[in-house]
């Protein structure tokens, strides 16, 4: 399964890059005020569903664009282009994210960041890798020296949960903030030590299924803002583990 996952995520990343070269010819729609979808999102998800269906017809699939297909034991979680707004604006901050669950537990994950030339992979109990080389989380143990990431697309009157309170609470405790607009990229960067942590509110399973496995297999930690392990992803906190409890105290003070 791991080689199959690698093959399809690499091909999907190649497709995304090819479509980005034709942005002016591409249809772009709005699913909501701040949520875009393109022809590339739809076509890439159809490709991935077709390939998975041919190889593993009994498996379930949850995708951002076409919803859920029920299956037995295994479920694939697909975000065909995570960071569509960046993609549409010609920015490199997007990726293809695919996770695989067995009986509800993550067992495989892969993220292609095609504009960066990076492929991230993780297997439960098998470590995390970027372009075939083992990766690990940052060794920083001081929140004051940490670079954190979050996304602010959910801020505003359209949002079910507003991230602004959390952003305001965290910013005074860290050295710097990043917002690439892609949960998959943020999680890859935590896994390889470029960020000390990433938090987000009200996110979808297909956005983070692969990335959370990458972080934990790279030696990091995942929880909700209270330190629990909710799978509903209303709250996602990933860190290098060394600053995790400090982040829980700050984020927990806002709830």
Q: For the residues of the chain, what is the DSSP string, one character each?
A: -HHHHHHHHHHHHHHHHHHHTTGGGS-EEEEETTEEEEHHHHHHHHHHHHHHHHH-TTSEEEETTTEEE--SSEEEEEEEEETHHHHHTT-S--EEEEEEEETTEEEEEEEEETTTTEEEEEETTTEEEETTEE--------GGG-EEE---TT-STT-SS--HHHHHHHHTTSSEEE--S-HHHHHHHHHTTS-SEEEEES--HHHHHHHHHHHHHTT-EEE-TTS---SS-SEEEEE-SSSHHHHHHHHHTT-
Q: How far apart are CA 40 and CA 80, in angstroms?
A: 8
Supply the pLDDT for residue 234: 82
Determine which one of 79, 101, 121, 196 is catalytic: 79
Q: How far apart are CA 183 and CA 203, in angstroms?
A: 9
Q: Where are the domains of the chain?
A: 2-134, 143-252
- The structure tokens 């996952």 sit at 5
Determine which one of 41, 52, 78, 84 is catalytic: 84
First to last CA, the chain: 40
Please state which CATH class domain 143-252 belongs to: alpha beta
**In the annotation, is 239 catalytic?**
no
CATH architecture observed for domain 2-134: 2-Layer Sandwich (3.30)
143 and 245 in contact (C-beta within 8 Å)?
A: no
Supply the pLDDT for residue 53: 97
Supply the pLDDT for residue 30: 53
**In the annotation, is 79 catalytic?**
yes
**In the annotation, is 29 catalytic?**
no
**In the annotation, is 238 catalytic?**
no
**In the annotation, is 84 catalytic?**
yes
Supply the pLDDT for residue 232: 67
**In the annotation, is 202 catalytic?**
no
Determine which one of 8, 44, 61, 81 is catalytic: 81
Supply the pLDDT for residue 32: 46
Determine which one of 45, 64, 65, 196 is catalytic: 64
Same topology, domains 2-134 and 143-252? Answer is no
In sequence order, which residues have a C-beta less than 8 Å from that of residue 134 and are 6 or more positions away? 127, 128
What are the pLDDT tens digits along the chain (255 aa)?
A: 999 999 999 999 999 999 887 765 556 555 544 454 578 888 999 999 999 999 999 999 999 888 899 999 999 999 999 998 888 888 999 999 999 999 999 999 999 999 999 999 999 999 999 999 999 999 999 999 999 999 876 444 555 667 888 898 999 999 999 999 999 999 999 999 999 999 998 889 999 999 999 999 999 999 999 999 876 678 999 999 999 999 999 998 886
Supply the pLDDT for residue 195: 98
């Amino acid at each position: 399964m791991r080689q199959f996952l690698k093959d399809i995520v690499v091909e999907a990343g190649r497709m995304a890059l090819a479509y980005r070269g034709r942005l002016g010819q591409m249809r772009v729609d709005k699913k909501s005020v701040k949520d875009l979808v393109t022809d590339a999102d739809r076509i890439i998800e159809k490709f991935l569903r077709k390939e998975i269906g041919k190889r593993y017809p009994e498996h379930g699939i949850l995708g951002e664009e076409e919803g859920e297909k029920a299956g037995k034991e295994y479920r694939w979680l697909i975000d065909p282009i995570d960071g569509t707004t960046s993609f549409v604006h010609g920015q490199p901050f997007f990726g293809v994210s695919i996770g695989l669950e067995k009986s509800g537990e993550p067992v495989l994950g892969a993220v292609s960041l095609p504009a960066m030339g990076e492929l991230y992979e993780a297997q439960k109990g098998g470590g995390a890798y970027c372009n075939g080389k083992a990766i690990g989380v940052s060794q920083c143990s001081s929140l004051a020296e940490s670079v954190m990431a979050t996304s602010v697309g959910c801020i505003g009157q359209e949002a079910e949960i507003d991230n602004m309170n959390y952003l305001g609470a965290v910013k005074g405790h860290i050295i710097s903030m990043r917002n690439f607009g892609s949960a998959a990229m943020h999680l890859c960067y935590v896994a390889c030590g470029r960020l000390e942590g990433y938090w987000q509110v009200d996110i979808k399973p297909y956005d983070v299924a692969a990335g959370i496995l990458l972080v934990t297999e790279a030696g990091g930690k995942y929880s909700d803002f209270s330190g629990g392990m909710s799978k509903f992803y209303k709250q996602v906190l990933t860190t290098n583990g060394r600053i995790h409890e400090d982040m829980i105290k700050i984020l927990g003070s806002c709830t």
